[in-house]
């Protein structure tokens, strides 16, 4: 067996030109497959990271029917959010962080342009939100992220800086002229005093509102409203008692997730602020969860679901981002088709060169048979040559492709995902298991391609093979 393998290595180098062409075919096929998979992995990793570290989190807890009732009646889908609930969730193995969110429909009015538009308002807690979605800061394209510590509750105060009107108690003159002169001056003074007193009285009875609230909006809302950072926004929302409430806030930032299919009509408020406005306590629309890196989300999901009421459900980021799940499934299906086509081409090229090799070595095959080589030995000899070519070409192609991906992943690749508004940096990579799979496929393809020529060579008749010119 080792003699046959040694002979196979020697025969590979006999026709250098044909061997180089065959190895180059395998090399190109492996580079194409590894490179395509690496870029696709980088794209899908960025999509996943964008969804889990910017938008949804790894898991979310909702009331059943959440998606259907969010716009029509957001108060029917609230779930409890108490210290006990938080402790139970955080006590689940694999859970790293938890954050509450409130989502309601509102009417947004830009004070300068007096333009109004309906929006979905999402209330977040700046501290816990960053624990679950640490990349949300990257989504703030202008301005700053909401800082819950800067929120100031709205209060009403009276102006107490009141001064007594003067000129009303001046002594009356005795002479008629003085009386007339004094009357004119007194009339002017009285009018001025009355105006001043009326102004102060108005200031005394007119309440002054103090407070500070922050709001984030999307770029499309900024453009549509003609707004700028710092502008005042009035949000009209309906609380749980069907009473209309207003929130005055200033635009502090612009959020763009950089993902296709992201909602263009969204605004973000501080969680505590909206919770007070809606008169809600210990209730939220959803609970977002970040899991430990490398943990199985489906296992954690089952553990959480077993401890929740039947009316609640746990959803993964793939279920929440249904559009992206379908996109990635389509990408993987297309890649599988490309993989099949590439290796069909590789097999065809190896079959062609192997058949030519057999035709040129017909007399050599007859000689080997005359010396006592059996048909199985001839078959193994040619299969060994094919496997050496396949393995060699696959190994060289693998090393070159992985090195190329390593170089590209140093600074990443800037590209814009179709449907997204901002560029994305991709970091291509391939797993070690996939590298091994491709090397096995390259070697196997060479063996499959070399089987027909090898079988034909092993079934030659020695006399006819020796008689071939």
Q: What is the DSSP string of 197-232?
A: HHHHHHHHHS-EEEEE-EEEE-HHHHHHHT--TT-E
Q: What percent of the chain has pLDDT over 70?
A: 81
Look-up: residue for tokens 């007070």? 276
| Reported confidence tier of residue 4, pLDDT bands at 50, 70, 90 | low
DSSP code, position 111 = T
Task: List own/partner pairs for 67-76 with CB under 8 A and 24 or more apart.
Answer: 70/103, 70/120, 70/285, 71/105, 71/120, 74/103, 74/104, 74/105, 74/285, 75/240
Q: In this structure, are strands 214-217 and 244-255 parallel, antiparallel, or unpaired?
A: parallel
Measure the CA–CA gap between 124 and 106, rounded to whole angstroms: 16
pLDDT (tens digit, 9 = 90+) per residue, 148-204? 889 988 764 444 443 443 433 444 444 444 444 444 444 444 444 444 444 444 444
Mean pLDDT of 23-40: 93
Mean pLDDT of 380-403: 90
More confident residue, 344 or 73: 344
* Alpha-carbon distance values, 228 to 120, 143, 174 (Å): 20, 10, 65
Count CB atoms within 10 A of the CB of residue 30: 28
What's the pLDDT at 98?
Answer: 96
CB 77 within 8 A of CB 266: no
pLDDT at 40 over 90: yes
Measure the CA–CA gap between 424 and 412, rounded to whole angstroms: 9
| Reported confidence tier of residue 101, pLDDT bands at 50, 70, 90 | very high
Q: How high is the mean pLDDT of the chain? A: 82
Cα dihedral value 201, 202, 207, 213, nearest 10:
-130
pLDDT (tens digit, 9 = 90+) per residue, 251-274? 999 998 876 666 678 899 999 999
pTM of the model: 0.75
Question: Apex CA 35: angle with CA 31 and CA 41, to 5°?
Answer: 150
Query: Quick one: residue 230, left, alpha or beta (phi over 0 = left, psi -120 to 50 = alpha)?
Result: left
What's the pLDDT at 121?
Answer: 92
DSSP code, position 149 = G
| Boundaries of every domain in the chain | 2-50+324-466, 57-158+208-320
CB 131 within 8 A of CB 253: no
Which of 286, 207, 228 is closest to 110 using CA atoms?
228
């Amino acid at each position: 067996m080792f003699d046959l393998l040694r002979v196979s290595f020697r025969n590979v180098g006999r026709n250098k030109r044909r061997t180089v062409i065959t190895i180059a075919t395998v090399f190109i096929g492996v580079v194409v497959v590894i490179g395509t998979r690496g870029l696709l992995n980088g794209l899908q990793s960025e999509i996943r990271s964008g969804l889990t570290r910017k938008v949804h989190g790894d898991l979310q807890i909702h009331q059943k029917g959440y998606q259907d009732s969010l716009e029509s009646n957001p108060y029917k889908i609230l779930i409890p959010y108490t210290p006990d609930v938080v402790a139970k969730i955080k006590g689940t193995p694999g859970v790293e962080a938890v954050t509450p969110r409130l989502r309601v429909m509102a009417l947004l009015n830009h004070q300068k342009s007096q333009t109004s538009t309906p929006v979905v308002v999402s209330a977040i807690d700046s501290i816990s939100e960053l624990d679950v979605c640490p990349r949300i800061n990257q989504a703030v394209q202008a301005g700053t992220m909401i800082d819950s510590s800067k929120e100031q509750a709205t209060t009403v105060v009276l102006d107490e800086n009141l001064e007594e009107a003067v000129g009303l108690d001046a002594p009356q003159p005795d002479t008629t002229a003085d009386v007339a002169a004094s009357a004119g001056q007194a009339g002017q003074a009285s009018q001025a005093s009355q105006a001043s007193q009326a102004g102060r009285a108005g200031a005394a009875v007119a309440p002054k509102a103090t407070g500070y609230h922050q709001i984030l909006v999307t770029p499309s809302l900024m453009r549509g409203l003609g707004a700028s950072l710092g502008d005042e926004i009035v949000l009209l929302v309906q609380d749980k008692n069907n009473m209309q409430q207003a929130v005055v806030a200033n635009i502090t930032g612009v959020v763009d997730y950089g993902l296709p299919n992201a909602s263009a009509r969204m605004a973000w408020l501080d969680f505590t602020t909206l919770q007070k406005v809606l008169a809600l306590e210990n209730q939220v629309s959803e609970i977002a969860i970040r899991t430990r890196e490398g943990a199985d989300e489906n296992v954690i999901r089952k553990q959480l679901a077993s401890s929740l009421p039947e009316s609640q459900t746990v959803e993964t980021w793939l279920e929440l981002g249904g559009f992206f799940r379908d996109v990635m499934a389509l990408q993987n299906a297309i890649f599988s088709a490309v993989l099949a086509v590439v290796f069909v081409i590789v097999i065809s090229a190896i079959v062609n060169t192997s058949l030519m090799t057999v035709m040129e070595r017909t007399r050599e095959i007859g000689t080997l048979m005359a010396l006592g080589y059996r048909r199985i030995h001839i078959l193994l000899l040619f299969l060994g040559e094919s496997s050496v070519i396949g393995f060699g070409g696959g190994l060289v192609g693998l090393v070159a492709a992985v090195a190329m991906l390593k170089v590209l992943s140093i600074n990443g690749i800037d590209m814009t995902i179709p449907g997204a508004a901002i560029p994305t940096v991709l970091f291509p990579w391939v797993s070690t298991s996939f590298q091994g799979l491709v090397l096995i496929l390259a070697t196997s393809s060479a063996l499959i391609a070399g089987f027909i020529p090898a079988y034909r060579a092993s079934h030659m008749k020695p006399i006819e093979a020796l008689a071939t010119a």
